[in-house]
Structure formats: structure tokens, C-alpha cells
A and B are shown apart, each in its own frame.
Chain A
Amino acid sequence: MPLKVLMFGWELPPFNSGGLGVACYGLTQALSQQDVDITFVLPQKQNVKADFLRLVFADLPKFAWPDMNPYLTSGLGLKTLPGDAPKDLIDAVRRYALAAAELAQKLQFDLVHAHDWLCFPAGVAANSVSGKPLVSHVHATEFDRSGGSSVNSVVYGFERQGLSQSTAVIAVSNFTKNLLTKFYATPGSKIDVVHNGINADDFARPTSIQDALAPLKARGFKIVSYIGRITLQKGPDYFLKTAQLVLRYDPKVIFMIVGSGDMEKQIIEEAIGLGISDHLLFAGFLRGEELRQAYRSSDLFIMPSVSEPFGITALEAVAAGTPAIVSKQSGVSEALNHVLKADFWDTEEMANQVLSVISYPSLHHTLQANGHTEVKKVSWQAAAAKTIQVYQKVLGRK
């Protein structure tokens, strides 16, 4: 008998705004290959290609993606939407929970698995209605999103309730596990760490896209990239400060920012202020082949996140053959040895590392080759196997 899981998610690629959708897709694909039967619920009908899942849509009225992207809680406050649509993200989350209770009465399953705060009320509702155990999966906390400074108390409340009502909690890293024990009073014994993974071969393949940066590289420029949302949590300002330090020593470097976000304008202004705007490239938000090409075109990838529960982009970079610098305040730094690591605030150290990687081909080559070997082991299959152990634990099997 395959294990039957009722899983609540918020987004799946290509209708995703970040790592949450990527992680849900990768994990459920591997779980289904390991004989787990998954009914995956999304708030609204989307044309997602995922034939390994039984997709169910909660059909929230006028739920308009991408206005409902999961990263809207921070900084600017919540968006208010017109008409009989959910009046804001919080309202949508509440309506999702009501729909979840109805679904849970109709469907057959052994346990409930809910991803992040948006789905926690849905998970709690399904758990209450069915009496089946609840596994909460934490990809990010409100403390990561807000940088700890402007925690949304409603979101925090959803998180706490979900965590306390869960039989087991999956955290994407020890970094996140520590936050959960520290700020959410979740007992450590209840939390299992399951690192995210990657299908490394997908990123190792060449693309059909021309390298738009080839002319620059032919003129001797090195490309150092930031790939991620342009928001406080990801530390784009530290990327700029690092760039400024590097350029003092080596002007033949171009710093590329791939992504969009609430700090875009601020970052452009800051670059002008630092006098490095002529060494900065904004590529906008990319996905698919274009994103893969952005990794491949880079000589070095930096993820200077202030608070990063995991950081799948670092896996993507390494899988694409691009050496990476990751902040020590990240989950992915636990999973990879063959990357460079620095505290996000230590821009001198990051600049020191950047200058070394671009000066010494031997270093670039060694990081690339060893990273390639290592990242293959950080697979979704490994993550799925660990997740199944958690399932078996909550079901009292084995």
C-alpha cells in the first residue's frame, strides 16, 4: 500500500515567484518516484505540468496570482485587492483553510503535509477535520522574510499554531531549526532537518541561448552574479558593497543582478551613490533556459543572504558549474563544502574571495570540479527518502 499524503502548497512552477514552488515540485516528484501517493492542493486552478501528482484546486474566487505571491508580507505591507476577491493575502490564507476542511472530508489519505505559513491554517484545518497527523514543512519563517525587524503578528500567529498542532516539523536546515526552537518554542525533538535538493543534471546541460555576455568576456571582463529576489532578506546591498571593494582592485569585473523585488529602486540608487553603476547589469527576472544561461555565463555566484533558510539558487549555480560564495547565515552552507563561505556583513571577506576566484584559475577550477561532484549528492531523491522517514515516524510505522 503506497502512503497517501494530502499536501497543501501555494505555488508550483512555472507559476512561482521563488524557491517555495521549486522545492515543492522537486520534492513531490522524488516522493512519487519513491512510491508516495500525493494529492497536491493549490489555492487556484493553474496550468501546471506535474503528471506525477493528483492536483486539486481549492478554487478560491478571484485569487489572482501573482498578486498573491508568498513574499508580500514584508516591508511594504500587504496588498489590498478590490471586489469580492480575498481582501488581502491573510484573507486568502483563511479562505484556503476553509476549503481545505471541505476537501479533507472528501479525500482519502494517511497524513497531511503543509508547506509554510500560507498553507499552515489549511493543514491545521485538514488535521482537525480528519484526525490524521499533520507534518508542517518550514521553508522560511517570518523572521527570515522580515529580517527580524517588522514581524507580521498575524503571520507569526499562523506559523505558531501550525507548528504546535503538528505531529512533526520538517525544517529545510539546521539554521531554520534553530530559529524554530528560538522564536517559536518548537521543541527540537519534534523537528527533522531535510535539506532541499536539486536535479543537478538539469542545470549542467548547455542551453540553446547565446551567451549575451560573451563580448564582454572576450574583452577580459569577469562576471560576478547575484541571482534572487531583490529584497532585504537576500542582502543585495551587501552585494553592492562587495562590488565596490572588488572594483578598487580589479576594474575588469561586471556585477550582474538577476531578479526583481521591492528593493530594486533602492539598489539602483545605491549603485549610483557608490559610483559603480557602470559595472552593474540588471537582467530582470529570468526563468527556464534564460536563468540557466545566466548561471552558466557567470564566473562566480554570490548569495549574500542576511537570513536564508536554505538557498536553492546556490545549488543551481554549483550544478551549472559556477563556483559560489554563500553567506554563513544560510541553510545551503550546511549542505555544501565545496563553496566559499562568509558572514553576510563581512563584505571585505567576500571581496577577498571574489578577487581570489577571478585571479586564480586553479581555485575556480577546483571549486567547479569538486562542487559538481558534491551537488549530485544533494538530490531531491535524498530529500524524499528523509521525508519518508518522517512520515513513517508520525504514522508509527517501522
Chain B
Amino acid sequence: MPAVCLYFQVHQPHRLKKYRVFDVGHDHNYFNDQSDTDLNNRRVLTKVAHKCYLPANELLLELLKKYPGFKVSFSFSGVLLEQLEDYSPETLTSFKRLIATKRVEVLSETYYHSLAFLYSRAEFTSQIRLHQDKIRDLFHVTPRVFRNTELIYNNAIGRHIENLGYQGIIAEGADYILGWRSPNFLYRPLGAQKIKLLLKNYRLSDDIAFRFGERSWAEYPLTAPKFAGWINAVNGNGDVVNLFMDYETFGEHQWQDTGIFEFLRHLPGEILKHPDNSFVTPSEAVRKFPARAELDVPNYVSWADIERDISAWLGNPIQDDAAGKLYALENSVLRAGDPQLISDWRRLQTSDHFYYMCTKWFADGDVHKYFNPYNSPYEAFINFMNVLQDLKLRLTTLTPAHAQSPGT
């Protein structure tokens, strides 16, 4: 009787425009690229909205009406929500319509889709609170289950999130943390009391997210009945199959002509054909199913690359340098108290900036190149550091007295 838990990640960063050393001290607008490239945030967002968000939302709404037992969940980054407000209000409205059905759950995350936990617990917590407020304002709901940026997780994150009052947390069901165990049960983070851990079934999730349109794949073409058969095979062998993926899978990563929307259209019906199957949201799964065992995850795990660790964002010298110098400004930026400066500093924390600096070209080159709007990781680093230089300059000219009373 496996339940299926669908969670879609919805995120777009504020990409930095081309910013040369000559711009430092002269131009403080870092995110307003107007070109025809993928550095133009409005352009990217509008494109993704039309290829993915709007048609997928429409389809989900139809499916929710058709199947009373169908449920899904979303996690929205705060920076994505800002961009929807600015560039595509109609998309925001369509998400609101979905959430109003009460069968669409919204998860908690860091507002800036950041790596803050790795650098500052205080900043991490602040960003979760900012996100909670944003979700309440827009959707009038309060998330109970947390997912960290890119499913980055370890024991310490599990315990920290429990202390913040969450009932559940989501992570990657990587082989090296599970060993012989199955991702289709709930677990308890090591040292935690109540909070439950939901693990992504990465094989079944990635069959949809990564392999769906791949003609060289032995299972190509993947149909809804075939996939439902794989879900049924879990029967008696697990409580819940967690299918977690980027929402952009539908229409953006897998283009419409792969048949991905038709797959989604038929999936709920095929899964519900089996009387033992059902759909749950993450907080329902936490309520319904027990934690079967304690799971020890001492090192960071994530859902990225073949390593499923944090090496997509941190670890090479330019990534560590950029992130280290950014977080070193925490106290002085917050003390300066300038809302624009704080917002810019936090937008620079979005994990994508560090992903663009990844130099693991050889194993995962394709994926990183596809998602990198800069020509190289080095260009991304140079750009980022120039912006950071300007931000520092603003910080030094911004005395606290000055910030409080602009007239003096």
C-alpha cells in the first residue's frame, strides 16, 4: 500500500549581470541584465513560466478536480516568488489557485535558496523566518515540513530544524546514507526526538526528471502505466514513495515534445487504479507513517551530481573563496541596517552563484554547462567577486549614523 508523495521544487535565482571591475563603485544594480542572454532574469522567468509553470499548473488543477485523492506539494524559493511578483503575476495567481484547493502543500525553505546553514546558523534561521512570512503573506498557509537548499542535509540540520518546531524534513535517499535500507520508509534523524525524515526515491524520481526523454535509455519510452507498475511493485515493501524533482522537469528540462505533460496527465489515474495506492503530502506522510529507525547522516548529502554531496557548490578554491568572503560580511552588513544592502547581500547567497563556479567539468560537465549562463566557472567567479567588491564599497561608505538619518 505505498502512498505516493509528490514534491516539486520551484526556484529561479537572481543571476548577476555581466559586471566588470570598471563598474565597481559606479553601478549598484547587479541583477538587471537587459540582454538576450540567460543573464536576463525577466527573460528567463517569462520563458520558464510559459514553457513550464503555466501549462503544468493548469494541468495539475485539472487533475485535482478530476481525482479527489490526488495531492501534490511545492517548495518555492523566496527569490522565485519575488520574480513572479515582478515579472509574471499571472503565474503567481495560478499557484495561488492550486494552493486554495487545500490539497497542495507548501514546504518551508530558506528564502534565498542559500547555503547559509554551512556558514551561519543565525543567518539560516533568519532566512527560514523570512520565507515563512512570505508564504503566509502570499498563500495564507504555514509550512510544517522543511526542505533545505538542494536537499542538503545532515544530522545537525535535522536537529536544528526540529528545534525550530518542524514535524518533518526532506533529504536525498542516497545509497551511501541508506546502505541496505529503503527510501520508502520514514526515519528519525540521529539525536532528534520527534521530527521525521522523508527520503527521495532517487531511482524513480530520476526516471522522470532525468531519463524521461533519453532515447538511449532501455526503458524509453516511459509511459504512465509502466511507471505505475513500478510503484505497485513497492507494495508491501514500503510506506511511501517520495518523488521529488524540479518543477521545471515539466516542459523545461524535459521539453513538451518528449510527451512529459501527457505522462503527468495520465499518472494519477494509473497510480490510483491500484486500490492500495494513494497520494499524500509530506505533512500527511509524517502524520500517517512511523519513523522506522534512526538514520545517521554525519556528512552532508544533497541531490546534486553523481556524488550527491556539496561539491557542486563548494570545495574548489574559487567557490570557497567567494562564499567565505561573502559570509564574512554578515555582521557588518546586518549592523549597517540598510534594507537594500541586506537584500543584495542575501541574493548573492543563492546557491546557484556557487554552482556556476563549479569546475567538475569532466564527470558532470554537461549538466553544469547546461545550467550555467556564464561561459565558464571562472567568468562566474570574476563577475561575483567584482559585485562583492562593490558591495563592500557600499558598506564602508554606509556608516550606521548615515543609514539612520539620510539627511546628515
Across-interface contacts of A348 in B (CB, < 8 A): 20, 22
Contact with B along A149-160 (1 / 0, CB 8 A): 000000000000
- In the complex formed, the residue of A with least CB distance to B375 is A341
Q: A355-B21, A366-B317 are in contact. Are A338 and B359 (CB under 8 A)?
A: yes
Tell me if B320 and A367 are in contact (CB < 8 A). Answer: no
Tell me if A341 and B376 are in contact (CB < 8 A). Answer: yes
Tell me if A352 and B376 are in contact (CB < 8 A). Answer: no
Q: Which of B42-50, B52-60, B378-386 contacts the other chain?
A: B378-386
Assembled-state Cα–Cα distance A352/B316 (Å):
22
Across-interface contacts of B385 in A (CB, < 8 A): 356, 359-360
User: Measured between C-beta atoms, what is the minimum distance from A376 to chain B in Å?
Assistant: 13
B171 within 8 A of A: no
Assembled-state Cα–Cα distance A359/B24 (Å):
14
B119 within 8 A of A: no
Contact with B along A356-398 (1 / 0, CB 8 A): 1001101101110010000000000000000000000000000
A353 within 8 A of B: yes
- In the complex formed, the residue of B with least CB distance to A364 is B317
Tell me if B20 and A363 are in contact (CB < 8 A). Answer: no
Tell me if B21 and A249 are in contact (CB < 8 A). Answer: yes
Tell me if A353 and B382 are in contact (CB < 8 A). Answer: yes
Assembled-state Cα–Cα distance A351/B382 (Å):
12
Tell me if B22 and A367 are in contact (CB < 8 A). Answer: no
A340 within 8 A of B: yes
Tell me if B317 and A352 are in contact (CB < 8 A). Answer: no
- In the complex formed, the residue of B with least CB distance to A353 is B382
Assembled-state Cα–Cα distance A351/B20 (Å):
9
Q: State how many residues of chain B have any CB contact under 8 Å with chain A.
A: 19
Main secondary structure of the interface of A (DSSP, over half): helix
Across-interface contacts of A338 in B (CB, < 8 A): 359, 378
Tell me if B317 and A365 are in contact (CB < 8 A). Answer: yes
- In the complex formed, the residue of A with least CB distance to B382 is A356
Contact with B along A275-298 (1 / 0, CB 8 A): 000000000000000000000000
Tell me if A340 and B317 are in contact (CB < 8 A). Answer: no
Tell me if A366 and B378 are in contact (CB < 8 A). Answer: yes
Across-interface contacts of A353 in B (CB, < 8 A): 382
Contact residue among A337, A352, A362, A366 (Cβ-Cβ distance under 8 Å from B22): A352
B321 within 8 A of A: yes
User: Measured between C-beta atoms, what is the minimum distance from A222 to chain B in Å?
Assistant: 15
Q: State how many residues of chain A have any CB contact under 8 Å with chain B.
A: 20
- In the complex formed, the residue of A with least CB distance to B361 is A337
A102 within 8 A of B: no
Of the candidates B22, B375, B386, the one having the most CB atoms from chain A within 10 angstroms of its own CB is: B22
Contact residue among B22, B318, B375 (Cβ-Cβ distance under 8 Å from A363): B318
Within 8 A of A (CB), among B377-400: 378-379, 381-382, 385-386
Within 8 A of A (CB), among B4-36: 20-22
Tell me if A351 and B21 are in contact (CB < 8 A). Answer: yes
- In the complex formed, the residue of A with least CB distance to B22 is A348
Q: A337-B376, A340-B376 are in contact. Are A363 and B359 (CB under 8 A)?
A: no
Assembled-state Cα–Cα distance A351/B386 (Å):
13
Within 8 A of A (CB), among B269-323: 316-318, 320-322
Assembled-state Cα–Cα distance A365/B376 (Å):
16
User: Measured between C-beta atoms, what is the minimum distance from A342 to chain B in Å?
Assistant: 10
Contact residue among B20, B318, B378, B386 (Cβ-Cβ distance under 8 Å from A340): B378
User: Measured between C-beta atoms, what is the minimum distance from A356 to chain B in Å?
Assistant: 4
A349 within 8 A of B: yes
- In the complex formed, the residue of A with least CB distance to B320 is A362
Tell me if B381 and A363 are in contact (CB < 8 A). Answer: yes
Assembled-state Cα–Cα distance A58/B321 (Å):
59
Q: A352-B22, A353-B382 are in contact. Are A362 and B376 (CB under 8 A)?
A: no
Assembled-state Cα–Cα distance A356/B383 (Å):
9
User: Measured between C-beta atoms, what is the minimum distance from B64 to chain A in Å?
Assistant: 46
Across-interface contacts of A337 in B (CB, < 8 A): 361, 376
User: Measured between C-beta atoms, what is the minimum distance from A368 to chain B in Å?
Assistant: 10
User: Measured between C-beta atoms, what is the minimum distance from A71 to chain B in Å?
Assistant: 31
Tell me if B321 and A352 are in contact (CB < 8 A). Answer: no
Q: A337-B361, A340-B376, A362-B320 are in contact. Are A352 and B386 (CB under 8 A)?
A: yes
Within 8 A of A (CB), among B320-357: 320-322
Tell me if B382 and A352 are in contact (CB < 8 A). Answer: yes
Assembled-state Cα–Cα distance A207/B382 (Å):
32
Assembled-state Cα–Cα distance A229/B378 (Å):
28
Across-interface contacts of A352 in B (CB, < 8 A): 20-22, 382, 386
Across-interface contacts of B317 in A (CB, < 8 A): 362-363, 365-366
Across-interface contacts of B321 in A (CB, < 8 A): 360, 362-363
Of the candidates A348, A356, A359, the one having the most CB atoms from chain B within 10 angstroms of its own CB is: A356
Tell me if A363 and B378 are in contact (CB < 8 A). Answer: yes
Across-interface contacts of B375 in A (CB, < 8 A): 341
User: Measured between C-beta atoms, what is the minimum distance from B363 to chain A in Å?
Assistant: 13
Across-interface contacts of B316 in A (CB, < 8 A): 366
Tell me if A349 and B20 are in contact (CB < 8 A). Answer: yes
Q: A363-B378, A366-B359, A366-B378 are in contact. Are A356 and B21 (CB under 8 A)?
A: yes
Tell me if B378 and A367 are in contact (CB < 8 A). Answer: yes
Across-interface contacts of A365 in B (CB, < 8 A): 317
User: Measured between C-beta atoms, what is the minimum distance from A297 to chain B in Å?
Assistant: 22
Assembled-state Cα–Cα distance A342/B382 (Å):
13
Across-interface contacts of B21 in A (CB, < 8 A): 249, 351-352, 355-356
- In the complex formed, the residue of A with least CB distance to B381 is A363
- In the complex formed, the residue of B with least CB distance to A354 is B21
Assembled-state Cα–Cα distance A353/B379 (Å):
8
Contact with B along A188-231 (1 / 0, CB 8 A): 00000000000000000000000000000000000000000000
- In the complex formed, the residue of B with least CB distance to A369 is B317
Of the candidates B317, B359, B378, B382, the one having the most CB atoms from chain A within 10 angstroms of its own CB is: B378
Assembled-state Cα–Cα distance A360/B376 (Å):
17
Across-interface contacts of B359 in A (CB, < 8 A): 338, 366, 370
Of the candidates A351, A360, A366, the one having the most CB atoms from chain B within 10 angstroms of its own CB is: A366
Assembled-state Cα–Cα distance A341/B379 (Å):
9
Q: A337-B376, A340-B378 are in contact. Are A360 and B22 (CB under 8 A)?
A: no
Tell me if A366 and B376 are in contact (CB < 8 A). Answer: no
User: Measured between C-beta atoms, what is the minimum distance from B309 to chain A in Å?
Assistant: 19
Of the candidates A337, A360, A362, the one having the most CB atoms from chain B within 10 angstroms of its own CB is: A362
| Interface pairs A-B: 8 shortest CB-CB | A362-B321, A362-B317, A356-B382, A352-B20, A366-B317, A366-B318, A362-B318, A352-B21
30 contacts between A and B (CB under 8 A): A249-B21, A337-B361, A338-B359, A340-B378, A340-B379, A341-B376, A348-B20, A348-B22, A349-B20, A352-B21, A352-B382, A352-B386, A353-B382, A355-B21, A356-B382, A359-B385, A360-B318, A360-B321, A360-B385, A362-B317, A362-B318, A362-B322, A363-B318, A363-B321, A363-B378, A365-B317, A366-B318, A366-B378, A367-B378, A370-B359
19 new A-B contacts, CB < 8 A, other than A341-B375, A356-B385, are A337-B376, A338-B359, A338-B378, A341-B376, A348-B22, A351-B21, A352-B22, A352-B386, A353-B382, A356-B386, A360-B318, A360-B321, A360-B381, A362-B317, A363-B382, A365-B317, A366-B318, A366-B378, A370-B359
Q: Interface residues, chain B, CB within 8 Å of chain A?
A: 20-22, 316-318, 320-322, 359, 361, 375-376, 378-379, 381-382, 385-386
